[in-house]
Amino acid sequence: MQDSYWYKDAVFYEVYVRAFFDSNADGHGDLPGLLQKLDYLQALGVDCLWLMPVYPSPLKDDGYDIASYYGIQPVFGSLDDFKELVEAAHARGIRIIMDLVLNHTSDQHPWFQLARSDPNSPYRDYYVWSDSDQHYKDARIIFLDTEKSNWTWDEVAGQYYWHRFYASQPDLNYDNPAVQAEMINVAKFWLDLGIDGFRADAIPYLFEREGTNCENLPETHAYLKQLRSYVERHYPGRILLCEANQWPQDVRPYFGEGDEFHMGFHFPVMPRIFMSIHMGDRTPLAWILEHTPEIPSSCQWCTFLRNHDELTLEMVTEEERQWMWQVYAPEPRMRLNLGIRRRLAPLLDYDRRRIELANSLLFTLPGSPILYYGDEIGMGDNIWLTDRNGVRTPMQWNDGPNAGFSQATPNLLYTPVIEDPISGPEVVNVARQQADAGSLLNLIRRMIALRKQHPAFGRGSFAWLQNDCEAVAAFQRALPEDSLWCFHNLSAEAQSVPLPEHPGQALYDLFTGRVLPPSAGQLDLEPYQYVWLCLQQV
């Protein structure tokens, strides 16, 4: 675990602890439960887990509403459980990053309780207060479906407080040096427990300034640089991953000159993978890659297909959003805010070919991929649950009671297991797929293993391979010592594409072992087929 650029080669896996495995039959997944499933994750081959928030919280936003930064939500376990988990993961060569929620706390946090009840409390200035709700009018509302304003009147305080998300999540005031220092202390606390870094939540919104949209402000970057320099000085090799749902040119500054974030999610590439697959045309994908700026050599994009939120459509045009909704969210209850609250497999009609194709793009495009728990077995969703809960249902381990997730009586489960004939645990579960060599789980495991054998996927350059067929996304990933050609037929029709000249080199198909000789001039692709070829000197 020595290489400080480990995150460039890593495959990440997002775990919703409450949904993963319940060790004590109370109906909630927990840290000891996750520990018991580390063997599964090791066998899958993932390198780093991202734990969604595990802090004490009233769970009005699934833990993104923190009531104490220095502890563990009791239903998830204890700090000792956490330490044991980190140790056990490290013993298996698996790293752990966790959410660092800088922007806001829960309204149940003692800081907010003290702030609202006493204007002279030092905590008053931990939050953003005003006598008027007319400030910062240019800041958009993010949770459009539930919130009417970013200001909420607090009876106790007799003032409005500022919040970018739910009203139960008051924003911290980063103009207060005490807040700045406190959050660095939070980072220190967890890094001292041995974690490998943070996925930093809701990064663009730390500061507010009149006359701006209150996103990506210079003050925000200045603070983040301080955080990075602190981490760098005291905890080299640990990473900061930026959640900024922005256009690439606005995410670019979060990498700084290699002195801000190590990694940033590539939000806009995600919907374009879905667009390209539905259209059978690489144009949307090509467009966004063209508009993705270079990043410092120490930095890395993080790519994903789905996560615990709605599939966000903030980074597309209005017209594209309407189209995506029509195509991928035909029923109104599939939509939320500016997005789609569905999982990967149902989005792609449980069509194994398109699910594989999407994963192949995820694993071969520039960046380090992150998988969302359950997508490796093609889990479904439950659109009848509210908010984003439909994509946060219990992991389906087997076809036993509660899908093997918990031994509690079903009415105690934090949310019901998926029940439907296509994606219920009778059909979709880990045990069944482990036993089936041809399962999606085994295919994803294979993709991860192949990716790890080829450093060019994580660190290599990217270049399109020219061909006139828009239905085929073909590109090269290359390092001097490792050269790969990846082909994706995005369409439902068979396609043939010319192969670039490759004198003196054979093309080795990583999945099938087939070898194409130096003279091979063309590649035939079945509908939705993908091929990963490795160039080899003959």
* Catalytic positions, written as ranges: 201, 243
CA 119/CA 132 separation, integer angstroms: 16
Residue type, 488: H
Which one, 242 or 523, has the nearer CB to ligand NOJ? Answer: 242
Which one, 148 or 233, has the nearer CB to ligand NOJ? Answer: 148
Nearest residue to 103 via CA among 209, 187, 183: 183
Which one, 141 or 506, has the nearer CB to ligand NOJ? Answer: 141
Structure letter (DSSP) for residue 7: G
Scan residues 308-367 and list those touching ligand NOJ (CB under 6 A): 308-309
Which one, 123 or 165, has the nearer CB to ligand NOJ? Answer: 165
**x-or-dash pattern for ligand NOJ, window 278-317, by CB under 6 A?**
------------------------------xx--------
Residue type, 387: D
CA 241/CA 237 separation, integer angstroms: 13
Q: Smallest distance, Å, CB 419 to ligand NOJ?
A: 25
CA 428/CA 480 separation, integer angstroms: 42
Q: Smallest distance, Å, CB 64 to ligand NOJ?
A: 3
Size of interface with ligand NOJ, in residues (CB under 6 A):
9
Scan residues 193-212 and list those touching ligand NOJ (CB under 6 A): 201-202
Under rule CB under 6 A, residue 376 binds ligand NOJ: no
In the bound state, the residue with its beta carbon closest to ligand NOJ is 64
**x-or-dash pattern for ligand NOJ, window 88-127, by CB under 6 A?**
-------------x--------------------------
Select the residue interacting with ligand NOJ from 82, 111, 123, 165 (CB under 6 A).
165
- Sort residue 439 into left (φ over 0), alpha (ψ -120 to 50) or beta: beta
Beta bridge partners of 329: none
Which one, 62 or 81, has the nearer CB to ligand NOJ? Answer: 62
Under rule CB under 6 A, residue 61 binds ligand NOJ: yes
Residue 386 burial by Cβ neighbours in a 10 Å radius (0-12, 13-18, 19+): exposed
Q: Smallest distance, Å, CB 76 to ligand NOJ?
A: 17
Q: Smallest distance, Å, CB 452 to ligand NOJ?
A: 27
Which one, 390 or 458, has the nearer CB to ligand NOJ? Answer: 390
Q: Smallest distance, Å, CB 215 to ligand NOJ?
A: 13
3-state secondary structure of 27: coil
Buried b (16+ CB within 10 A) or exposed e, 426-465: ebbbbbbbbeeeebbbbbbbebbebbeebebbbbbebeeb
Scan residues 222-261 and list those touching ligand NOJ (CB under 6 A): 243
For 10-71, what is the HEC assignment? Answer: CCEEEECHHHHCCCCCCCCCCHHHHHHCHHHHHHHCCCEEEECCCCCCCCCCCCCCCCCCCC
Which one, 247 or 511, has the nearer CB to ligand NOJ? Answer: 247
Instruction: List the structure tokens of 462.
Output: 């990217």
Beta bridge partners of 159: 154
- For residue 176, the number of C-alpha atoms closer than 13 Å in the C-beta half-sphere is 16
Q: Smallest distance, Å, CB 308 to ligand NOJ?
A: 6
Q: Smallest distance, Å, CB 107 to ligand NOJ?
A: 13
CA 274/CA 354 separation, integer angstroms: 10
Report CA Rg, the chain: 23
What residues line the site for ligand NOJ (CB under 6 A)?
61, 64, 101, 165, 201-202, 243, 308-309
